[in-house]
Amino acid sequence: MTNPYELAQLAANELREKSGVDRYDVAVVLGSGWREGAAALGTPASVVPTTSLSGFVAPTVAGHSGQILSLNLGGLLIGLVAGRVHLYEGNTADQVVHPVRTMILAGAKKVVLTNACGGLDLVIRPGNVALIRDHLNLTATSPLEGAAPPEGFASRFVDLTDLYSARLRGAVHAAVPDLHEGVYAGFRGPHYETPAEIEMARAMGATLVGMSTVLEAIAARHLEAEVLGLSLVSNFAAGVSTSPLNHLEVLEAGQSAAASLGALLAHVLSVL
């Protein structure tokens, strides 16, 4: 049985061979809503289906196969991971973080994690994007559980003080005015929270809630990558808004956001 690190190294070698890209600078994991926006980054130089790479599990969302798209953005080599997988699909923490480990072992020293989430703060409205400043891992698991990482990898007792890189956040704030920052609470899902759970998350300091990102951030930091988190707020979390947005407003917020997400992503990538 190969360990998760050897499996990711194997997948990284396969990816380099199949994509023809011998190193990556930045990996971007595309969450819901971001895939459409990423099309604005340009035509990928190569598209590798994740089914052809060791250790990748297929997303269970209908019609969305996993792909790694390689792009050269003004000399910056970007690997876009489309088709994130989650704990709630029945995957282990190691399976959830395998794409991130693979991209880092293929050379990426920076990892951008994008997602769609619920918002707890009335000031961060549906359609807004927030930078993740910190997180609460409420999944009750870690990608570093289990056997110790093999020789050559950092200890599993990772310092998460600067998990969402202050340096990268500073660069993005300088380039993109008016971006919010939030604390992302990662739940297992797939159900949304009860209003009481959202009040619990608020009391703990959360302003954003979702079902992804936290495990990937931990695994990326363990492999010594710099992490940036971008959350598209898609809805107010349970019980937050007394006058819930109607469905049409939510759809409109999502659509107008999708149009600008690609431009935002391109701008962010150019300053990292």
Count CB-CB contacts under 10 A for residue 13: 15
Q: Does 116 bind ligand 8IG (CB under 6 A)?
A: yes
Nearest residue to ligand 8IG, by Cβ distance, number only: 118
Which of 89, 113, 126 has the alpha carbon at shortest distance from 237? 126
Segment contacting ligand 8IG by CB under 6 A, of 45-53, 59-67, 207-215, 258-266: 207-215
Segment contacting ligand 8IG by CB under 6 A, of 37-45, 100-108, 158-166, 230-238: 230-238
Q: Does 139 bind ligand 8IG (CB under 6 A)?
A: no
Count of residues touching ligand 8IG (by CB under 6 A): 13
Least separation, in Å, of the C-beta of 233 and ligand 8IG?
8
190-195 contacts: CB < 8 A, separation 24 or more? 190/86, 190/88, 192/118, 192/237, 192/238, 193/118, 193/237, 193/238, 194/238, 194/239, 195/238, 195/239
Q: Does 118 bind ligand 8IG (CB under 6 A)?
A: yes
- Distance separating alpha carbons of residues 77 and 208, to the nearest angstrom: 30
Question: At residue 143, what are phi and psi to the nearest 5 degrees?
Answer: -70, -10
Instruction: Write each residue from 187 to 206 as x if it is in contact with ligand 8IG (CB under 6 A), else as -, in one continuous string.
Output: x-x--xx-------------
Least separation, in Å, of the C-beta of 203 and ligand 8IG?
16
Angle between helix axes 166-175 and 247-271 (nearest 10 degrees) is: 110
Binding site for ligand 8IG (CB under 6 A): 116-118, 187, 189, 192-193, 209-211, 234-235, 237
